């Protein structure tokens, strides 16, 4: 689960990858004398960024930061410190709205759980083409009689 910062991080990661591929193509076409050194340096930076990304994913998963927990009786969302940011029970959910945006540059699913008491909706953003969270939320909402 991610917010606006996750969207920009995904956009930056894909932009860096596209830039890297473009530079490698230029190096292969132009063939400067120090092509091997430049290519190795760029590859090292890219591998470092990918390693940082994987380490960050593992750390946030282990500490429970910015997570969405789906229970049979409701949904709980945590903040950057692992504490409960918002929660809603399925009895209190009136409707589940979803928005999907998928392209070559970014892909995400925005889900809104509208409350029966007309309070502020619980908003979730799941990055990726087919995150398991969206399917699980829709299944659980249908099981609890929530309009989708």
Q: Which distant-in-sequence residues (6+ apart) come within 8 Å of 72 by Cβ? A: 90, 140
What's the pLDDT score for residue 81? 80
User: Which of 63, 89, 106 is where one domain is finished?
Assistant: 63
Query: Is 148 part of a structural domain of the chain?
Result: no
Residue 133: both structure tokens together: 């969270």
CB 79 within 8 A of CB 85: yes
Residues 58 and 72 placed together within one structural domain of the fold = no
pLDDT exceeds 60 at position 66: yes
The parent domain of residue 25 ranges over: 4-63
- In a domain, residue 138? The reply is yes
pLDDT tens string 34-54 = 878 888 888 888 888 888 888
Q: Does residue 47 contact residue 17 with C-beta atoms inside 8 Å?
A: no
Q: Domains in the chain: how many in total?
A: 2
């Amino acid at each position: 689960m991610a917010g606006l910062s996750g969207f920009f991080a995904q956009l930056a990661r894909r932009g860096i990858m596209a830039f890297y591929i473009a530079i490698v193509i230029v190096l292969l076409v132009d063939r400067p004398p120090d092509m091997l050194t430049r290519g190795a340096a760029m590859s090292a930076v890219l591998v470092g960024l990918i390693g940082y990304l994987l380490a960050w994913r593992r750390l946030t998963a282990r500490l429970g930061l910015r997570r969405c927990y789906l229970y049979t009786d409701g949904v709980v969302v945590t903040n950057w410190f692992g504490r409960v940011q918002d929660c809603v029970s399925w009895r209190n959910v009136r409707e589940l709205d979803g928005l999907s945006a998928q392209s070559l540059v970014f892909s995400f699913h925005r889900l809104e759980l509208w409350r029966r008491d007309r309070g502020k909706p619980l908003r979730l953003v799941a990055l990726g083409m087919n995150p398991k969270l969206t399917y699980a939320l829709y299944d659980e909402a249908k099981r609890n009689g929530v309009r989708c």
